Structure 1
Amino acid sequence: MKKLFLVIGSPGSGKTTDAEVISKNNPKEMVHYSTGELLRAEVASGSEKGKLIEDFTSKGNLVPLEIVVETIVEAIANAPKDIVLIDGYPRSVEQMIELDKILRDKDMIELASVIEVEVSEKTACDRVLGRARGADDNVEVFKNRMRVYLEPLKEIQDFYAKKGVLHKINGERSIQEIVADMESYIKSKI
């Protein structure tokens, strides 16, 4: 039985770094994926699905919901470890509902928890602008990304809270403290 941990948080919350560090600390038990990496790997594989994904992304279009969810679920099912961390998913109510629908039919995958890394908008903005990795790391783009993250957040939180799988972590601390807290929580669920 695979145990799935979804790690969500605003841009700049540190969710990807946290999940990466935890999976590196536990290489025998855990694997980490990000949605973007999974889609890029599918394109690189040259598969029919990869060609379809590239057809959308090369034109700057969003990959259809069903393809994204199917890619994630396949990655989980084929993961080399039983504990799978995926960061940055779900990003919308539609993605959440679609994943929930698919997981209901999968006996071999259990959603163990949705971990939300909470940071203030100011901290998130400071971190994103501080790392300034590309042209999209500016205040206007940050504000838009934050709005896109916050719009569905309450509904996502309520949905997973009702299922009893939502766990919030204070992301305003040092990376060592956040990782230690999240890692110990994940281990308590496996």
Structure 2
Amino acid sequence: MKKLFLIIGAPGSGKTTDASIIAEKHDNIVHYSTGDMLREEVAKGSKLGQEIESYISKGALVPLKIIVNTIVSAINNAPVDNVLIDGYPRSTEQMTAFDELVSKEENITLASVIEVRVSEQVARERILGRRAEAAPGEERSDDSEEVFNDRMKIYTDPLAEIQKFYTDKGLLTVIDGERTLEEVVEDMEKFILSKI
């Protein structure tokens, strides 16, 4: 049985970094970022990759079917039983579709949804700071102020509904993402280990 942890947070909340550090420390935990999964597809230059890129470059949401299939396939093919996925769900449609799908999958159980919470101001400083530090040619196409504003709105619009949905199921845990990386990772790691 695969135990799944979904990690949500604003752009710049550090969720991808947190999850990857935890997965590196534990042989029985694997981490996937929906962003990375989609970017890998883009890097392949496949037809699907080109379609994904057309959405990502605008800061828009990649269509539901593409994402859900990418994620379920990644979970089922994961080499270990504890899977961290960050950056999902990003909309109530994604949440509902995924919930329906997971309830039918006998091999997958949703252990928890972890929200790494940061203020919009902290998120903005981190994202636009990341752009300033990138070497030429290494900037991510989604790190401009305009795209940040779009991504932030996409994240915050459905957030209350997503929080309520998982709170009602007793699955939501909030971690303060404005502390040092070490503190956030330690908190998240303790929580995940307590569930597996």
What residue is the counterpart of 1:188 in the other structure? 194
Whether 1:9 aligns to 2:15 is no
The 5 Å alignment of 1:131-150 reads 131-132=130-131, 133=134, 134=139, 136-150=142-156
Structure 2: runs of 5+ lacking an equivalent:
none
* 1:95 match: 94
The total of aligned residue pairs comes to 185
Question: What's the CA shift for 1:7?
Answer: 0.5
Deviation string 1:122-152 (CA, Å, 9 cap, x unpaired) is 1111111111143543333222211111000
Partner of 1:128: 127
User: What is the rounded CA distance, in whole Å, between the counterparts of 2:182 and 2:172 in structure 1?
Assistant: 22
Residue 72 of structure 2 is aligned to residue 76 of structure 1: no
Mapping 1:46-125, distance limit 5 Å: 51=47, 53-57=48-52, 59-60=54-55, 63-125=62-124
Runs of 5+ in structure 1 lacking a partner?
none
Q: Distance in 1 between matches of 2:171 and 2:15?
A: 17
2:19 maps to: 19
1:76 positional shift = 0.3
Instruction: Give per-residue Cα distances to partners, 1:21-60, cap 9 Å, x unaligned.
Output: 010111x1111101132234456779xxx64x23523544
Higher deviation after alignment, 161-170 or 63-72: 63-72
Aligned partners of 2:146 and 2:37: how far apart in 1?
28
1:168 alignment counterpart: 174
Distance 1:13 1:99 in 2: 23
CA distance in structure 2 between the partners assigned to 1:185 and 1:64 by the alignment: 31
Separation in structure 2 between the aligned mates of residue 7 and residue 148 of structure 1, nearest angstrom = 16
Q: TM-score, with normalisation over the residues of structure 2?
A: 0.87
| Identity between Structure 1 and Structure 2 (%) | 57
